[in-house]
Amino acid sequence: MGPGAAELTAGPAELALIGAVDELNQYQLAAGLRWGWWSESSPAIRPFTNVLDKPARPLPGEGCALYALGRADAAGTSLAFVSAIRIGRSEGQDAVAEAQWILDTLTREGIPASAVDLLLTGANGLREGDQFFQAVAAAFSRQAGRDVLCRAYKQGCGEHHSASAFGFLTAIGLVRGEIAGEIIGARPVRTVVMFTRSRTGTKGMCCIRA
């Protein structure tokens, strides 16, 4: 997402095809079973239920997702608008600092925190990570001056390196009103901030608007 958006912003590209792909093969499965990351009885991913603790890992997934990303002023019909894209690295488990990082990025793009309806996270059912995402959402809600929903998407695609590409699709569906259900119920959503963070501290965010 970041490199494609940079090309569009800088000028060399009019349209960028971006995406990611992951394959779940027998070698990964064998290694995961051998090291106890998951088992034949591993539960489905249920974010924010705090059912998993290390060394267990969420069920793996696989898939491919591709998107056409163009400039906001380009002719044609758009599914959604994307802005406030940023990647970085975290130091420690400071939820307030992470919320500020998101807020600073939105401010730079002229998007008020109060406009955000939902923080769509990479929560995957692991207790430590889920609780951290919830703490970030709570800190961001305080900064926004309103209750910002905190939800996840990996229950729909499994855990894999390019899972955030499916999170992006989820965010588009949410702001377009095409999907809701267990993610947000009947509450309308117009602006979503997708926020992901890996076990090693790599993080990323982008804002998707209707």
Q: What's residue 201's pLDDT?
A: 86
Q: Cα–Cα–Cα angle for 15, 18, 24, nearest 5°?
A: 165
Report pLDDT digits (tens) over 118-138: 999 999 998 989 999 999 999
Compute the mean pLDDT over every residue in the chain, rounded to the nearest whole number: 86
Please tell me the predicted confidence (pLDDT) of residue 75.
57
Residue 14: the pLDDT is: 74
Q: Where are the beta strands (DSSP E) in the chain?
A: 15-22, 63-70, 81-89, 118-121, 149-152, 191-197, 202-209
Instruction: For residue 59, give every residue at least 6 positions away whose Cβ sits within 8 Å of its Cβ, in sequence order, or none.
Output: 38, 42, 43, 44, 45, 158, 159
- Domains contained in the chain, number: 1
Tokens of 207: 């804002």
Domain assignment of residue 109, given as a range:
2-209
The whole-number average pLDDT for the span 71-86 is: 79
> For residue range 49-73, what is the model confidence (pLDDT) as tens digits?
867 787 778 888 888 988 888 776 6
Bond prior to 55 in cis (omega within 30° of 0): yes
CATH code for position 39: 3.40.47.10
What are residue 194's phi and psi, to 5 degrees? -90, 125
pLDDT at 7 over 60: no
- H-helix or E-strand containing 27? helix 26-34
Higher pLDDT pick, 122 / 79: 122
User: Is the pLDDT assigned to residue 183 strictly greater than 80?
Assistant: no
User: Is 180 a residue whose pLDDT tops 90?
Assistant: no
Question: Which of 13-17, 29-33, 61-65, 71-75 has the least mean pLDDT?
Answer: 71-75
pLDDT average, residue stretch 96-106: 96
